[in-house]
Structure 1
Amino acid sequence: MSSTAPQPARTHAQTGPEAADWAERLRVANINPRTGLATDYLNHFNEAVMLLEMVPDMPECAEDFLTWSPLSYAEHFTASNFKARDLAIEAYEKANPNVRAQFDHITDTMTSILTAVGSAMREVEKDTTRVRLAEQATLWVKPLIAACGGIINGGAEADVDTIMAN
């Protein structure tokens, strides 16, 4: 895989002033114009991690985590109060397919981890087991959130590959 920088998110024929206007609209909306992605989506995963981090001190918070459910990028923005949610979805759809594939791979991995941990927590009765599950999931998911942040902010593929290998 090459280590090329992400290309700006753009439509099929955007050039000149049209491309500059698109980039400015994204920038104003807090969407990275280079990648077409918004960090707001990471709040969805940060919420789950925050709930998991509470479980060791308050095991009853596992029940709060169990109410978390996965949302795709579009589902998250559709359900959010993000001011430019339609623009966020459009920019995601127009993002560089390679960048979006890396991003989707990591978010799919986080969703799989969190879903599996939720299923496991539903199956166990001991708080100590739930605490261990919560701690392990947090250790796995936090670096993946950071990797997604790197992709959103236009980090190099090599940086993402390093995080995913660890």
Structure 2
Amino acid sequence: MVVVTLVQGDITEQRVDAVVNAANSELLGGGGVDGAIHRRGGPAILAECRRLRETDYPRGLPTGQAVATTAGELPARWVIHTVGPVWSARGDRAAQLAPLLASCYRESLRVADELGARTVAFPAISTGVYRWPMDDAARIAFDAVRTAPTRADEVRFVLYDTAAYDIFAAQQAR
């Protein structure tokens, strides 16, 4: 059974087998977690992402899927890139998007298993510029991780600030 831990801090400083990147579909870097991972990891990550775009994902990585690259200069072995959905306040649309957010976690763990990763660090996917409400995102993340078949020993949620950490801690206690 996977152990789920919480850390308040910077995901680019995590010493784990795989760090999950809340990427955009272009896989070419961006803001938030994506930008931080690309900046700290260096050009090797971007080079592999460009190759993926040229070969396997010419139209971009679809929402809810995941793919791995080197971690470059990060203290991890791999980066698993996943594209979260953009939040919609419309109830019917939100209900359609929640399974895609859960898929980000499940697919990232599937890729981690393929790589042999035993420790995986996740950010709070889709909660930044994609505006997913933190409490709902935490619920979906825990449900997905707790029910995903995985060989990982540890899943670590790395939350950037106290507010996010507190929300994830409350969800973990449930």
* TM-score normalised according to structure 2 size: 0.30
Higher helix share: 1
Relative to its length, the structure with more strand (as a share) is 2
Q: Which has the larger radius of gyration?
A: 1
